[in-house]
């Protein structure tokens, strides 16, 4: 028997003190949720851009190095790939911008016939009801879907005026 182990007290179950030490450390780490997985979000929403004008539009999210582009037909919605997860108590519109997705953070441009018509600059915030801006929380609409749908709803930004 190792001379160091002789000095560890025996417990009634036959465990040594170092067994208890690792049991306590493991319990503490589990309590801190270091080994936990992210829970599935309570709801999933797809993000769409709707063109309610009579013109073909192109919306460009982000700068030259990191950007997404969507062609919007008149009176049609264009869906962004994927969806976002939202937990109870979270605002789905705010969650779009808090996700850390770079094109949603700084600049959005709208083109008609390859001519720049509108540029919106971040950061996202509440501009009030009267201001149409990609970065205005109130310019987005949350639409709930029926229970049997693949996603719980849609978060829609509608472009209704192009100068």
The per-residue pLDDT for range 77-129, each reduced to its tens digit, is 787 756 788 888 888 888 888 765 555 668 899 999 899 999 999 888 888 88
**In 3-state terms, what secondary structure has residue 92?**
helix
- Chain mean pLDDT for the chain: 79
Give the integer Cα–Cα distance in Å for 63 and 35: 37
Is 140 found in the same domain as 60?
Answer: yes
Is 109 found in the same domain as 155?
Answer: yes
The percent of residues above 90 in pLDDT, for the chain, comes to 24
Using only C-alpha atoms, what is the Rg of the chain?
26
Structure tokens at 20: 């208890």
Is 65 found in the same domain as 8?
Answer: no
Is 20 found in the same domain as 60?
Answer: no
In the chain, which ranges are continuous DSSP H helix?
Answer: 17-31, 92-98
Is 55 found in the same domain as 27?
Answer: no
Whether the per-residue pLDDT at 11 is higher than 70: the answer is no
Is 25 found in the same domain as 64?
Answer: no
Domain count, the chain: 2
Whether the per-residue pLDDT at 16 is higher than 70: the answer is no
Give the integer Cα–Cα distance in Å for 161 and 154: 21
Q: Which domain holds residue 139?
A: 43-159
Instruction: Report the side by side order of strands in the sheet with 76-86.
Output: 76-86, 43-51, 153-159, 140-144
The pLDDT of residue 146 is 92
The pLDDT of residue 118 is 92
Is 52 found in the same domain as 29?
Answer: no
Q: What are phi and psi of 12, to 5 degrees?
A: -60, -25
Is 52 found in the same domain as 21?
Answer: no
pLDDT in tens, 52-91: 999 999 998 887 777 888 899 998 878 775 678 888 888 8
More confident residue, 39 or 146: 146
Is 147 found in the same domain as 91?
Answer: yes
């Amino acid at each position: 028997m190792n001379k160091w182990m002789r000095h560890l007290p025996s417990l009634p179950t036959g465990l040594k003190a170092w067994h208890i030490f690792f049991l306590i450390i493991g319990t503490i780490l589990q309590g801190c949720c270091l080994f936990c997985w992210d829970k599935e979000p309570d709801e999933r929403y797809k993000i769409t851009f709707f063109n309610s004008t009579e013109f073909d539009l192109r919306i460009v999210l982000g700068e030259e190095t990191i950007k997404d582009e969507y062609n919007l037909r008149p009176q049609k919605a264009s869906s962004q790939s994927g969806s976002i997860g939202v937990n109870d108590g979270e605002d789905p519109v705010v969650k779009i911008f808090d996700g850390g997705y770079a094109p949603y953070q700084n600049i959005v441009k709208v083109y008609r016939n390859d001519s720049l018509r509108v540029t919106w600059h971040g950061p996202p915030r509440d501009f009030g009801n009267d201001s149409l801006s990609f970065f205005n929380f109130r310019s987005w609409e949350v639409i709930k879907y029926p229970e049997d749908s693949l996603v719980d709803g849609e978060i829609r930004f509608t472009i209704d005026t192009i100068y």
